[in-house]
Copies of this chain bind each other. A is one copy, B any other.
Amino acid sequence: MHAGVDVGGTKVLAVELAGAGDDLVVAATAQVPMPGRSASEAEVEDAVARAVLEVAAGRPLTRVGVSTAGLVDREGERVRFAAHLPWRDAPVRARLAERVGAPVVLANDANCAAHAELVAGALRGASSALLVTVGTGIGGAVVLDGRVVLGANGMAGEFGHVQVVPDGLPCECGLRGCWEQYCSGRALERVMRVALGSHLDGPEVAALARNGDPVARQAFATVGTWLGVGIAGLVSAFDPEAVVVGGGVSAVGDLLLEPARRRLLDALQATAYRDVPRLVATRFGPEAGAVGAALLADPARTPA
Contacts and interface: CB of A to CB of B under 8 A. Distances in A.
B269 A163 contact: no
6 contacts: A88-B273, A140-B237, A151-B239, A156-B239, A164-B166, A175-B269
A269 B158 contact: yes
A149 B238 contact: yes
Interface stretch (A17-25, A95-103, A200-208, A227-235): A227-235
Nearest to A152: B241
Interface of A: 71, 80-81, 88-89, 127-128, 140, 142, 144-145, 149-159, 161-166, 173-175, 178, 229, 232-234, 236-241, 267-270, 272-275, 277
A141 to B, nearest CB: 10
A82 to B, nearest CB: 9
A157 B235 CA distance: 9
Nearest to A82: B270
Given A161-B269, A232-B163, A274 B239 contact: no
A300 to B, nearest CB: 26
A245 B216 CA distance: 45
Prevailing SS type, chain A contact patch = loop
A151 B272 contact: no
Contacts of A145: 144-145
B153 A239 contact: yes
A154 to B, nearest CB: 7
B80 A162 contact: no
Given A80-B273, A273-B81, A159 B71 contact: no
A114 B148 CA distance: 22
Given A81-B273, A161-B269, 10 more contacts: A142-B238, A145-B145, A151-B240, A155-B239, A158-B236, A158-B237, A159-B236, A162-B237, A163-B267, A175-B269
Given A163-B232, A166-B229, A274 B153 contact: yes
Contacts of A156: 128, 237-239
Contacts of A238: 142, 149, 151, 156, 237-238
Contacts of A229: 163, 166
Contacts of A153: 239, 273-275
Contacts of A157: 237, 239
A68 B173 CA distance: 40
Contacts of A163: 164, 229, 232-233, 267
Nearest to A266: B175
Contact of A274 (B80, B159, B173, B178): B80
B237 A142 contact: yes
Contacts of A164: 163, 166
Nearest to A126: B152
A187 to B, nearest CB: 14
A199 B290 CA distance: 59
